[in-house]
Amino acid sequence: MKYQNEINKRRTFAIISHPDAGKTTLTEKLLLFGGAIQVAGAVKSNKIKKFATSDFMEIERQRGISVATSVMTFEYKNILINLLDTPGHKDFAEDTFRTLTAVDSVILVIDSVNGVEEQTRRLMEVCRMRDTPVIVFVNKMDRDGKNRFDLLEEIEKELSIHLHPMTWPINSGKEFKGVYNLHDKSLRLFTANTKGNDEDVISINSLTDAVVDEKLGEKDAATLREDVELVDGVHGQLKVEDYLAAKVAPVFYGSAINNFGVKEMLDTFIRIAPLPQCRPTSVREVCPDEEKLSGFVFKIHANLDPKHRDRIAFMRVCSGKFERNKYYHHVRLDKDIRFSNPYSFMAREKSIVEDAFPGDVVGLFDTGNFKIGDTLTEGENFYFTGIPTFSPEIFKEVQNKDPMKTKQLEKGLLQLTDEGVAQLFTQHGGNKKIIGCVGELQFEVIQYRLLHEYGASVQFNTLPFYKACWITSDDQKKLDEFTRFKQANVGLDKDGHQVYLAQSEWFLNTERKNNPDIEFHFTSEVHKETA
């Protein structure tokens, strides 16, 4: 068992939410608790959402800022917490999905007024796919929200997860009086802008204590007693193993802006959240306490200076110890590389790091060696699985407006797609280049970056596809036949894997029915598993 002390100390997680639910505010409060920042307002939010689509300059500037907040490392009660940031804008959803592959758990923020929203659903789908343990923080209790029982039911139903309230709210909006902690049976009264001190906590022996009536008033005290009896009756004590198995999500109520309910959640988080976990690879399971280093790249960030095409690749360490200046094996390229200036992200400052342990994220200076999903080892050949490429939702053909710059264009497309900005497909039987993205915004970013970083001028023609499915078959002949007949709808992804581009769900279902020997996959994962 190597490095066990270091592993036990680490918790790596992400906060996810629909835009505006309070992710940035909660992040800031957590950093304040961790002493990583001194004043409120210090976290530059990843607020791409506040800008119109055409403000891509602003978006790029903000993405630059977000490098610094991509990973926030802080210490709280001797636990080293790595908080991985996820972009708020839905057009960068794929970025978020990939970041979720690098964490061991998540905190999901839900706005008590709006309940479950579109992005909440999509993000939870990814968590469910990976069985990621989730803690729910119901935010904005200082606003008139939904009925607390209705909201619980809505979250359970819409997100297909069992909830386990850890605290219970006393009213909401102007009448919000605080929370009752079902775990340690204490009462926490709400005052705006609390510093999260222990002094506001009232310990009680039982809810029948007269002090409860005194503090809450008889009516609210009676309601609380009724609610708690009901909730306790249904849920009992939290079984931590059910949370770790992603079967149950503990729920906390609070108001991030008022720093209320945050400390309870953080204290529980460090008590129950999973340590760095073992992870599946194409060959075997790799566990954090192994002696040899392994890790994978889940995010690549380009330098904003167009004169320098260097990038930062974010690698999650999965096993062993990462050391500066040591040679590691880049599995895909089959070559050994060392890093003289790896970054860590302690206290939001980028600083050069000498070593890193499982659960940590290191920023590797990259001149074009990395793409998303790349694995570093100490010699063994495997890939971490579960880092899927999802199907894009908007497809456009790339048209080169300047034939003199064809080479630059090809290079730019390859590098941008390595970064995961978009996916690139080449149509069968021609050389049509198709870009697939999750949101319109990325097309603007690509167009802008191709011009400013590579000198290539392009225009996009929208194509009538709605999904890309990776196709495989045990019967190569059948696959070849399908490809021949469906030339206009079949292409190759960047790794040369065959992809069927479907015009609509109807077409996709029809092809599935007509071609029972061919399998249609919504992620590219299938190819990694066999790599």
Q: List C-alpha distances in Å: 351 to 189, 314, 347.
A: 40, 14, 10
* Distance of closest approach, residue 9 Cβ to ligand G4P, in angstroms: 28
**58 by DSSP, 3-state: which?**
helix
Q: List C-alpha distances in Å: 100 to 16, 93, 108, 125, 387.
A: 9, 11, 12, 11, 9
Instruction: Tell me if 22 sits within 8 A of 109, measured CB to CB.
Output: yes
| 26-45 positions binding ligand G4P, by CB under 6 A | 45
Q: Say whether residue 90 binds ligand G4P (CB under 6 A).
A: no
* Distance of closest approach, residue 159 Cβ to ligand G4P, in angstroms: 17
Q: Say whether residue 155 binds ligand G4P (CB under 6 A).
A: no
* Distance of closest approach, residue 140 Cβ to ligand G4P, in angstroms: 4
Task: Please report how the helices 440-454 and 56-68 are oriented relative to each other, as an axis angle in degrees rounded to 10.
Answer: 90
* Distance of closest approach, residue 256 Cβ to ligand G4P, in angstroms: 4
Q: Which of 86, 99, 101, 139 binds ligand G4P (CB under 6 A)?
A: 139
Q: Which of 2, 9, 20, 522 binds ligand G4P (CB under 6 A)?
A: 20
Nearer to ligand G4P, 262 or 450 (CB): 262
Structure token digits, residue 136: 């729910």
Nearer to ligand G4P, 264 or 511 (CB): 264
* Distance of closest approach, residue 215 Cβ to ligand G4P, in angstroms: 22
* Distance of closest approach, residue 104 Cβ to ligand G4P, in angstroms: 22
Q: Which of 142, 290, 374, 444 binds ligand G4P (CB under 6 A)?
A: 142
* Distance of closest approach, residue 424 Cβ to ligand G4P, in angstroms: 30
**106 by DSSP, 3-state: which?**
strand
Q: Which of 7, 11, 12, 19 binds ligand G4P (CB under 6 A)?
A: 19
Q: Say whether residue 24 binds ligand G4P (CB under 6 A).
A: yes
Residue 11's Cβ-side half-sphere holds a number of Cα atoms within 13 Å equal to: 24
User: Count of residues binding ligand G4P (CB under 6 A)?
Assistant: 18
Structure token digits, residue 427: 């149509």
**Contact region for ligand G4P (CB under 6 A) — 74-82, 182-190, 226-234, 255-263?**
255-263
| Beta bridge mates, 84 | 14, 71
| 391-430 positions binding ligand G4P, by CB under 6 A | none
Structure token digits, residue 256: 């991030």
C-alpha 96/C-alpha 84 separation (Å) is 10
C-alpha 170/C-alpha 19 separation (Å) is 26
Nearer to ligand G4P, 254 or 412 (CB): 254
> Each residue of 217-238: b (16+ CB within 10 Å) or e?
eeebbeebbebbeebeeebeeb
C-alpha 439/C-alpha 436 separation (Å) is 9
Q: Which of 14, 21, 231, 435 binds ligand G4P (CB under 6 A)?
A: 21
String of DSSP letters for 333-368 = TTEEEE-SS-EE-BTT--EE-SEE-TT-EEEEEESS
**Contact region for ligand G4P (CB under 6 A) — 4-12, 14-22, 322-330, 411-419?**
14-22
Q: Which of 107, 108, 251, 256 binds ligand G4P (CB under 6 A)?
A: 256
Sign of torsion over alpha carbons 238, 239, 242, 243: positive
How far from chain centre, in Å, is Cα 136? 15
**Contact region for ligand G4P (CB under 6 A) — 15-23, 129-137, 189-197, 478-486?**
15-23
| 43-72 positions binding ligand G4P, by CB under 6 A | 45
* Distance of closest approach, residue 143 Cβ to ligand G4P, in angstroms: 5
Q: Say whether residue 140 binds ligand G4P (CB under 6 A).
A: yes
Instruction: Tell me if 177 sits within 8 A of 220, measured CB to CB.
Output: yes
Q: Which of 10, 14, 17, 266 binds ligand G4P (CB under 6 A)?
A: 17
What are the residues binding ligand G4P (CB under 6 A)?
A: 17, 19-25, 45, 88, 139-140, 142-143, 255-258
